[in-house]
Amino acid sequence: MDMHVNFVLSQCSQRLYLLKLLRSQGLSTAQLDQVSQAIIVSRLRYALPVWSGFLSADLINRIQALLKRLFKFGYSSQLLSFHDLITSCSEDLFDNAHISNHCLHELLSSYVHRLESLRPRGHDLVLPTCTSYLHKRSFLVRALFEFI
């Protein structure tokens, strides 16, 4: 994941320079906020539920530092939390995966619905037995355990 995060952070750093140039051309703070959401935050959010489970604390801190720079330099109107981005993206994807025509719906159906009546959860799927670290950190397994 180090190579992936380094690549994403290098792209975002280049885009930070673009925001600096746009500010020097007279773009307002509100417009800079919109542009930063469009070119930086959207890049971080792309496929975030898939790769966020495999990040180390160091990589998360490096991404959070980028988000702090966005706010510090005035390119973002609010300080974004990387953990909040992960949670919102994961919840959205998990909710959409329940729709029958979604491409992940078939994978969710492999976790058969529970028959017995237990305490209420956010979903009615059976929780899998995690056999390895990679299996435990994959999106669907994490989502089944997190959104209960």
Residues with Cβ within 8 Å of residue 73, at least 6 apart in sequence = 16, 19, 20
Q: What are the beta bridge partners of residue 125? A: 113
pLDDT grade for 39, boundaries at 50, 70 and 90: very high
65-107 pLDDT per residue, tens: 999 999 999 999 999 999 999 999 988 988 888 788 887 777 7
42-65 pLDDT per residue, tens: 999 999 998 998 999 999 999 999
Q: What are the beta bridge partners of residue 85? A: none
Q: What is the C-alpha separation between 38 and 33, in angstroms, rounded?
A: 9
Between 4 and 129, the higher pLDDT residue = 4
